[in-house]
Amino acid sequence: MDPTNDPGLKSFVDVSPGSHFPIQNLPYGVFRPREGGPARPGVRIGDLVLDLRALEETGGFEGCARLPRGTFAAPDLNAFLALGRPAWREARETLSRLLRAGEPRSASDGSFRERLLRKAADVEALLPARIGDYTDFYSSKEHATNVGIMFRGKDNALMPNWVHLPVAYHGRASSVVPSGTPVRRPRGQIKPDDAEAPLLVPTRQLDFELEMGFLIGPGNELGRPIPVAEARDHVFGLVLVNDWSARDVQRWEYQPLGPFTSKNFATTISPWVVTLDALEPFRCAGPPQDPEPLPYLREAGDGAHDVRLEVRLKSREMDAPVAISKSNSRYLYWSIAQQLAHHTITGCNVRAGDLMASGTISGPDEGSRGSLLELAWRGTRPLSLPGGGTRTFLEDGDTVEISGWCEGNGYRIGFGECRGTVLPALD
């Protein structure tokens, strides 16, 4: 076992039971102090954030041969992501040691805590990287089947190519935002069934999509695909994703080239990136794949992660959010390694900081569906809310919260929260 994953590890930082951020996690992000100052990389531990720029300046990474000086001087993690897994592991081992209970260099040093540790409540969590490109996959068989049944009927639910390759589209990186950013209801062109011509109106069918995403570390040369067996070495870590969707806009525009303005207005991600090393104890088998994929997509070993996922909804009239969906990332038919191998099979080059999302994650039962489109079955089965309200799609003032975690032996590896509130469309 990697010693940084030891369930018995304890930090000198007081981490409450059930916290998403014990010493076994140590996710990376970028933050800005609320009192002002430049953005800087950090690592989450309990209710605190370790300032990596300040740690580097005080010699905290001396002796780390794979971490060049100034790695954490930038206002993003891109330089660190580009270094690759040996450097990531060296940094993780160093941070785990510094934050361990009984570590003389930090546990008894008051200045260490004062200079390097900040309360998470006193900082603003930002995007963890400069996201150059964004790709959204369609990797949940249950979700693809549900949508196919609604629009094409049970006999033609899955398109013929779906079980042979990870379907995807290229999204818009400029509108990826961190958790907590409000989402403005978009205007778009729709065509109701009873209308003779399309209309330009605020979307009437705004939806969330429960997804997970991964950030690319080292890229590949143009023209050289990433083999599936090496794909995980190019993946830094995972985040939660809500790829907001305007269903009525999408229905009108998506043929023949797929979603465009229906998906380009906002994609929310959780700010703390959980590394693959932290998730290693929670690797598991994904669904069986039949037919067997082509050789370039055949992955040896377990390619999925046992991440429990929950979606909560809060309207303006509700006092507290209510869980409306519970799912798991292990339901994904296509793994992250297969997604990346297929993305680059043409020789497409990916770069440090690129974001890939899984597509909506739905499970085998009604309560594990990852969108309102499915939960309310295209508006025919309204979802009941506490206090008597219902939802078929999102209304102004609604807040959607996505949470995810892995359950360990006495600890959790969590992703925090991916949250957004719907604002009215502009006049």
**Cα 216–220–226 angle (5° rounding)?**
85
Q: List beta partners, residue 310.
A: 326, 403
C-alpha neighbours within 13 Å on the C-beta side of residue 40? 24
Could you give the residue numbers annotated as active site? 143
Query: In whole angstroms, what is the distance from residue 274 CA to residue 305 CA?
Result: 12
Element containing residue 190 per DSSP (H, E): strand 187-190
CA distance 231 to 233: 5
Q: In this structure, is the dihedral angle defined by the CA atoms of residues 353, 359, 365 and 368, taken in order, positive or negative? A: positive
Q: Where would I find the beta strands (DSSP E) of 277-410?
A: 283-284, 304-305, 308-314, 322-328, 355-357, 383-384, 390-391, 399-407
Q: For Cα atoms 273, 19, 86, give the angle at the middle one, nearest 5 degrees.
A: 35
What is the rounded distance in angstroms from the CA atom of residue 197 to the CA atom of residue 183? 28
Widest Cα–Cα separation across the chain:
75
* Distance separating alpha carbons of residues 242 and 28, to the nearest angstrom: 19
Helix or strand holding residue 143 (H, E)? helix 141-152
Neighbour tally for 289: CB within 10 Å: 18
